[in-house]
């Protein structure tokens, strides 16, 4: 069965298939009642809805996973300033609540935390703070050459921020909508499964 399905969805689809198969047999022998026909129809509709929902969930979570990997560290060892012998070790959280990667340089046998967030959500906050710091340094007064660099850097950072923000907001909204839908579906699955289980028990009558 479809791997994208959750355990409760898979369980319900098994039951649905049981009733569909039974309806086929009853149709063949011309014994299908109107109630049974309606039940079969409801089962098929729900199965379609479940598969559609699972497909939608996979698409949203794939997109989310791609976004999470959007940031490339380009980390360098603080001692040898090289990147080739680096091995990413763990993820740590700093005082701002941002997640950062920790690395080990196998050449220098040294471990360090890279100074930038490893994901676009925290990177957005990092850039916001960085822009603020640059603006403050401009107000405080800088040497002309540094002032020029700083003045050029700010709109570039703002541009990245303006492009990143709506993409992340869309994804956040999508995930939130999915979570709500998931709750509704879980409830529906639970109710329908219990209903079908009772119908199945009713079929299991003892024949003398």
Q: Which chain residues interact with Zn ion by CB under 5 A? A: 77, 79-80, 105, 107-108
Smaller CB separation from Zn ion, 23 or 105: 105
State in angstroms the smallest separation of the CB of 111 from Zn ion: 10
Question: Is residue 134 within 8 Å of residue 125, measured between CB atoms?
Answer: no
Pairing of β 86-93 and β 99-105: antiparallel
Question: Is residue 121 within 8 Å of residue 93, measured between CB atoms?
Answer: no
Question: Is residue 75 within 8 Å of residue 114, measured between CB atoms?
Answer: yes
State in angstroms the smallest separation of the CB of 90 from Zn ion: 18
State in angstroms the smallest separation of the CB of 146 from Zn ion: 29
Q: Token pair of 80, please? A: 């040898």
Question: Is residue 178 within 8 Å of residue 159, measured between CB atoms?
Answer: no
Smaller CB separation from Zn ion, 82 or 132: 82
Q: Among 103, 77, 76, which Cα is nearest to 90's?
A: 103
Identify any residues that bridge with 102 across adjacent strands, giving them in sequence order: 90, 113
State in angstroms the smallest separation of the CB of 110 from Zn ion: 6
State in angstroms the smallest separation of the CB of 98 from Zn ion: 24
CA angle 163–166–168, rounded 5-degree value: 105
């Amino acid at each position: 069965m479809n791997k994208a399905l959750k355990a409760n969805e898979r369980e319900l689809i098994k039951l649905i298939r049981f009733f569909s198969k039974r309806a086929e047999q009853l149709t063949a022998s011309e014994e299908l009642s109107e109630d049974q026909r309606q039940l079969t129809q409801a089962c098929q509709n729900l199965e379609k809805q479940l598969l559609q929902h699972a497909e939608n969930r996979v698409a949203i979570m794939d997109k989310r996973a791609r976004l999470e990997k959007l940031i490339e560290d380009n980390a360098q060892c603080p001692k040898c300033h090289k990147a080739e012998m680096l091995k990413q070790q763990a993820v740590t959280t700093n005082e701002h609540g941002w997640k950062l990667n920790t690395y080990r340089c196998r050449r220098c046998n040294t471990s360090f935390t890279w100074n930038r967030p490893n994901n676009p959500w925290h990177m957005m906050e990092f850039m916001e703070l960085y822009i603020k710091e640059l603006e403050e340094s401009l107000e405080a007064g800088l040497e002309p050459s540094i002032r020029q660099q700083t003045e050029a850097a700010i709109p570039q950072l703002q541009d990245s921020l303006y492009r990143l923000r709506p993409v992340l907001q869309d994804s956040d909204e999508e995930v939130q909508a999915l979570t709500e839908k998931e709750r509704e579906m879980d409830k529906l699955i639970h109710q329908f499964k219990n209903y079908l289980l009772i119908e199945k028990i009713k079929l299991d009558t003892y024949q003398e």
